[in-house]
């Protein structure tokens, strides 16, 4: 038994999965940190400080690898960074108008959007399972976000766009991590996010330093752990796990966001809200149960075929 446990712990894929679980805890916590920090800082300003810190850390760590930088790596990182600018902007603005729990669950819809985008980018025919997952999750989104009178809140709508944008990022990231130097790829992404959000903050908001210890703590946690470390871990995981398996682990992020929102912000859900969350979660599980959208019963050979397709993106 001890030998079996040792093999389980030291298996590379298992380590990647455990590392991703840790990242989902951090990402779930950042919804609460970000929401409280937006009382003091405007969205683009908060994001600018977060990613300036993340970029400086990654630049320091990559100092010895800069000679490996080339135009393809730079281009891939810029594209991924631009996708993340849109994703984080919609999510952060959305958090001003919705709860951390709602934002977490709606962001989690990227797990449902990903098979749809795989059909567009990779020309994959979608199974009835994927179609059912989308239908169930969208019904759940309706229960969670649409108020009486069929009005969806501004915050929930903005976070929904974030989920779509992030699913595009996952599709591209899976191919790029297999072609380019991972630390450099993460560094360029953080640099694009730092420059982009700084420019937007200077252009549309009042740019200032955080003035309280809580916001500085939020910037440090979000910059170091939820950005630099998190995207490195995600990239590493997608080098050894299939996108389907990666998504299955990331499914825990909205769960942790709801838990932290209830504990730290005293947020509460109505019965209608709980039903909506349950249906969204069910939609995610339908998509990611073994035999999901990228495997479709093709086995290991099929997974390698999919990976080869992704590398060509």
Give CB contacts under 8 A, 24+ apart, made by 127-135.
127/293, 127/296, 129/286, 129/287, 129/289, 129/291, 129/292, 129/293, 130/287, 130/292, 130/293, 132/286, 133/283, 133/284, 133/286, 133/287, 134/283, 135/283
> Confidence band (pLDDT; 50, 70, 90) for 292?
very low
Q: In the beta sheet, which residues pair with residue 152?
A: 146
Q: What are phi and psi of 146, to 5 degrees?
A: -90, 120
Domain ranges of the chain: 21-311
Q: Looking up tokens 């859900």, which residue turns up?
A: 269
In the predicted structure, residue 14 carries a pLDDT above the cut 70: yes
Nearest to 143 by CA among 275, 2, 313: 275
What local confidence, expressed as pLDDT, does residue 99 receive?
84
Q: For residue 310, what pLDDT is reported?
A: 36
pLDDT, tens digit (0-9, with 9 covering 90-100), for 191-213: 999 999 999 999 999 999 999 99
Burial class (CB within 10 angstroms; exposed 0-12, middle 13-18, buried 19+) of 295 = middle
pLDDT tens column, 210-269: 999 999 999 999 999 999 999 999 888 888 876 666 766 776 777 777 778 888 878 777
Count of Cβ atoms closer than 10 Å to residue 179 Cβ: 14
pLDDT at 305 over 80: no
Share of the chain above pLDDT 90, in %: 39
pLDDT (0 to 100) of residue 306: 38
Residues facing 146 on adjacent strands: 152
Q: Cβ distance 102 to 155 under 8 Å?
A: yes
pTM of the predicted structure, to 2 decimals: 0.76
Mean pLDDT over 54-81 rounds to 95
How confident is the prediction for the chain on average, in pLDDT? 81
pLDDT bracket for residue 297 (50, 70, 90): very low
**Which pLDDT score is estimated for 127?**
72
Whether 46 shows a pLDDT value over 60: the answer reads: yes
pLDDT for the residue numbered 243? 67
How do 146-147 and 151-152 pair as beta strands? antiparallel
Residue with the bigger pLDDT between 107 and 293: it is: 107
């Amino acid at each position: 038994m001890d030998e079996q446990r040792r093999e389980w712990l030291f298996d590379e894929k298992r380590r990647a999965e455990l590392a991703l679980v840790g990242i989902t805890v951090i990402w779930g916590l950042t919804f609460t940190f970000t929401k409280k920090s937006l009382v003091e800082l405007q969205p683009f300003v908060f994001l600018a400080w977060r990613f300036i810190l993340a970029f400086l850390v990654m630049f320091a760590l990559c100092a010895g690898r800069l000679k490996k930088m080339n135009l393809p790596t730079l281009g891939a990182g810029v594209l991924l960074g631009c996708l993340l600018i849109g994703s984080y902007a919609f999510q952060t603005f959305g958090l001003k108008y919705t709860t951390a729990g709602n934002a977490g669950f709606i962001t989690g819809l990227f797990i449902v959007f990903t098979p749809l985008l795989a059909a567009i980018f990779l020309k994959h025919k979608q199974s009835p399972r994927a179609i059912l997952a989308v239908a169930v999750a969208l019904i759940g989104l309706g229960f969670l976000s649409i108020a009486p009178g069929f009005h969806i809140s501004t915050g929930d709508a903005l976070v929904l766009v974030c989920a779509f944008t992030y699913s595009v990022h996952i599709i591209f990231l899976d191919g790029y991590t297999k072609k380019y130097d991972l630390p450099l790829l993460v560094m360029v992404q953080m640099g694009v996010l730092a420059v982009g959000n700084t420019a937007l903050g200077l252009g549309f908001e009042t740019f200032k330093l955080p003035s309280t210890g809580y916001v500085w703590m939020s910037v440090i946690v979000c910059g170091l752990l939820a950005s630099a470390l998190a995207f490195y871990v995600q990239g590493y995981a997608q080098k050894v796990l299939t996108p389907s398996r990666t998504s299955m682990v990331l499914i825990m992020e909205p769960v942790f966001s709801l838990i932290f929102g209830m504990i730290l912000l005293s947020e509460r859900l109505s019965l209608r809200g709980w039903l909506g969350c349950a249906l969204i979660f069910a939609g995610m599980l339908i998509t990611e149960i073994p035999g999901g959208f990228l495997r479709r019963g093709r086995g290991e050979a099929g997974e390698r075929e999919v990976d080869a397709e992704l590398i060509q993106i």
